[in-house]
Structure 1
């Protein structure tokens, strides 16, 4: 494996190949006695070569990078990309929020009822004249944010390709307490306490922030065309979508995205993405899905296919390049078929576009399942976008990836959220010409990246099952790049990011190029990739480690955040 990044499978672009310059002058560093010739370490490629008689063995590392796949629902007009700015579009503002009421409702000056809030690309005047902005109280006599609690069936997608957001909304709807943290249910849309102002809470870059919007929502030709609730008097879906549109610059700007990002934004949790292309991992993944779902994790899936066809279903009833919500997992015994592993899946369109193959609504295979079991599963035949599929034969062939979000760390990857007694968050910056050193394909540059000292301390009464002192600690390390937009017509370019973990040297000193040349890493986040957040699970001994976050390319400026979850006491600080 070389250092050239792989090409995005949905585009013809590729990432430039950095200079490969691992040459570092020999020093008195001794090789690890465990080093062997031609050792390869996953997920990066590391190999040890014999430099010659009487010379120490070097660790030659060739870092790799990948491009994130397109989600399938990107609009035809991509946003112009630029570097990071102040990054608080839609959140910071000095607008007065006092003195509003039924006779003088709030009008958001930062996201006005104008075409610029709908589109960042140009539109003809005739099309723009079709849109009007109305308040819920002008649509129904008694509008509410929530009606009869929350349900996955509340969510109905509109004309926007933002299923990445709406599939997450549908998953979150099963937890009223969490959804109410995002949208306070005590806010009113009519009556004497009405102000026209709505507060939506979103987790952004390490903290919860409040996005203030007005309750005006756009209509086209007299009917609401964006995301909505199934009940005409319920409006939480439309308001969450509007808040998202505001922090991205416009409604058009939220076409195309990744469910794992929306999951983190609405929960503050940890999200993972699993591709389904390796059939050898399907059995393990299904077990993990079952355990995760029983622990109330939030799960979505995305279908492969041509995103240009994402506006309609194919002959199987599925939509290409589209995100769905997994709403149930069951194993049933079917007559003559044995045990069947089923998933219940929901299309955020909430209509008749459903799977038409085996185990679909009304399929004859359901006659082989006992009535009591079908009642337990909540089986119904409705044109509501929800359907069942067999996991191994159909789901894994039709879908491309699964995303799982938990509210805390899952150290042992068993689907159960573990207690994280110790959590640390620290912020840093890659600065061009100073700390933006790029990957290990050039060790001299790589050594200039920010370095963080992680100390794992032995906890009191910390013993393993045999009663002996337990020297191991389960640790999850997350690296997130700052993703927030600064201008309404531009977005921050997603960088290919990753991190490496090394044993610390003597004292509290930064690691130099010679250390990387003669020492293995303890682990990495995997290939560098342009995700907003990457992470890794590690089982580490008590002691000191160095975390080195980096971008694949050299000289790229950005801000980043590191989150660490551990079972034992930890200390974290940056080494200057």
Structure 2
């Protein structure tokens, strides 16, 4: 479910909150080019190196030093002005008309908004995050989920940045994972405001600005603020971690082992979000839950209660404030009255209007539609935690070309055979530990493969939407000399598949396969649909991948 919503307009400021005069000169510095994804096939990268974002290329220090030197040489104060993402309507929206009241937006720097602006006041936490008028709750919920890990947030937000003093130059940079590669995004600190208040994402602390600046950098990455309205938390969590996310349907489709999966996910520092379907962002007056909305899951617990145990989950609403769950185990629920005080302290229970609350696991699976778990590494056994200490990643960058390699679904096997095809050679079975692995895993190769369509959100301005995509894996007895033809597909079924075609950015397969040769076929539902894609293949042992499209 694509999710997006917005909050009411900010209040008119009081007299003491009006704009602060700040005289400044600006300097135009050319923005650094964005790195492009590596072409073709990149094989067997050690998992431990995939997330070393410290090696990402950036021109931040070079530009900052140039501004400081110019200020020192002239005796004036210069600050950065981003020419690539200017403080103009083009950076706000791509539609022919501005969204509601966006034509009244004024751009202001933090020094114009706060008397004591800071990038961070006391670290990063989920309570910092408050949604504004932008319908990006899916992304803010992702931020709230990732904020549980100080280590990950330090990778995203470099710590050497100042908002005051001689090192302040009106420029900040942030890191995102983008289609197989970490990129560094530089922005100036001019932020959209209405009536002197930030009108999009903000921190609960009016002097803290990491969230609106991070949101601006993410908007720049996709072309405009409007381009990040509506989406899936799966995408947001992957963009903030470089991990891979798995989605589970709830209600009648809830897996029997889901609570155990969630418990392991939190124990192993994976990240979790959940969504509610519907439309209109309507708050239910009985439950307090909001339709078409995304939430961050912060904790799960099996807590002692009345001689037994109760399974609980804790959530964060990116709206913040009092829009919270109102049922059992909510902040004001009488259930807490009969729980031991020591257990409540362990859970960190607090009755506060901060957008956070506990609820029972059963109520969660009843009222929410899906839950997404993002692991920073492959979750081969689908238990909510990365598998093992070492794993390998192979990546494929490819393209569906209309009339050439955009063959569509198997409804037409002759056309389907023209889709891109890649030979996968699984050389040896995974190591087997009878104390930890099931007998069914002996002699098998654990494979997790994800098919991700690229740059569709950045193309919203041109009318691009997600394509309906699927990924199939076929077993072959020996390496084919050329691409598999329609005869093969008429006689053979896939051994692993993402199943039905869906219009998500990424679809995934988790499979236990015998060593040997396989052919991977990514496809769109409609023949002729064009686009570029990234395939990620996670394995425990070395693999060989070759393009046999021909």
TM range (shorter): 0.7 to 0.9
Distance 2:403 2:95 in 1: 35
Equivalent in the alignment of 2:361: 391
Distance 2:422 2:6 in 1: 37
Partner SS, residue 143 of structure 2: helix
Equivalent in the alignment of 1:118: 92
TM-fit CA distance, 1:524: 0.8
Equivalent in the alignment of 1:347: 317
Distance 1:253 1:313 in 2: 28
Alignment of 1:504 with 2:476, yes or no, is yes
Equivalent in the alignment of 1:23: none
Distance 1:148 1:323 in 2: 25
Distance 1:128 1:569 in 2: 52
Partner SS, residue 203 of structure 1: strand
**Match for residue 453 of structure 2 among 471, 481, 495:** 481
Whether the aligned pair in 2 keeps the contact of 1:314 and 1:320 (CA below 8 Å) is no
Distance 1:174 1:105 in 2: 33
Whether the aligned pair in 1 keeps the contact of 2:113 and 2:197 (CA below 8 Å) is no
Distance 1:507 1:327 in 2: 47
Distance 1:465 1:92 in 2: 45
Aligned residue runs from structure 1 range 206-221, under 5 A: 206-221=180-195
Whether the aligned pair in 2 keeps the contact of 1:304 and 1:398 (CA below 8 Å) is no
Whether the aligned pair in 1 keeps the contact of 2:228 and 2:457 (CA below 8 Å) is no
Whether the aligned pair in 2 keeps the contact of 1:205 and 1:561 (CA below 8 Å) is yes
Alignment of 1:270 with 2:221, yes or no, is no
Distance 2:515 2:99 in 1: 66
TM-fit CA distance, 1:350: 1.2
* Unmatched tracts of structure 2, length 5 or more: 8-30, 37-58, 72-76
Equivalent in the alignment of 1:169: 143
Distance 1:491 1:422 in 2: 36
* Unmatched tracts of structure 1, length 5 or more: 1-68, 76-87
Distance 2:477 2:32 in 1: 42
Equivalent in the alignment of 1:560: 533
Partner SS, residue 105 of structure 1: strand
Whether the aligned pair in 2 keeps the contact of 1:89 and 1:485 (CA below 8 Å) is no
CA deviations on 1:125-180 (whole Å, 9 max, x unpaired) are 99456322111123334422222222111111112221101011111111111111
Distance 1:381 1:185 in 2: 33
How many residue pairs get aligned? The number is 490
Partner SS, residue 121 of structure 1: coil
TM-score by length of 2: 0.83
Distance 2:508 2:112 in 1: 47
Distance 1:92 1:418 in 2: 30
Higher relative contact order structure (alpha carbons within 8 Å, sequence separation ≥ 6): 1
Cα distance, 1:396–1:421 mapped onto 2, change above 3 Å: closer
Whether the aligned pair in 1 keeps the contact of 2:479 and 2:517 (CA below 8 Å) is no
Equivalent in the alignment of 2:370: 401
Equivalent in the alignment of 1:24: none
Cα distance, 1:433–1:260 mapped onto 2, change above 3 Å: same
Whether the aligned pair in 2 keeps the contact of 1:90 and 1:248 (CA below 8 Å) is no
TM-fit CA distance, 1:97: 3.9
Name the structure with the higher helix share. Answer: 2
Distance 1:207 1:262 in 2: 15
CA deviations on 1:354-403 (whole Å, 9 max, x unpaired) are 111111112111122111100000000001011111111x2222211111
Partner SS, residue 366 of structure 2: helix
Distance 2:410 2:112 in 1: 60
RMSD: 2.8
TM-fit CA distance, 1:491: 4.8
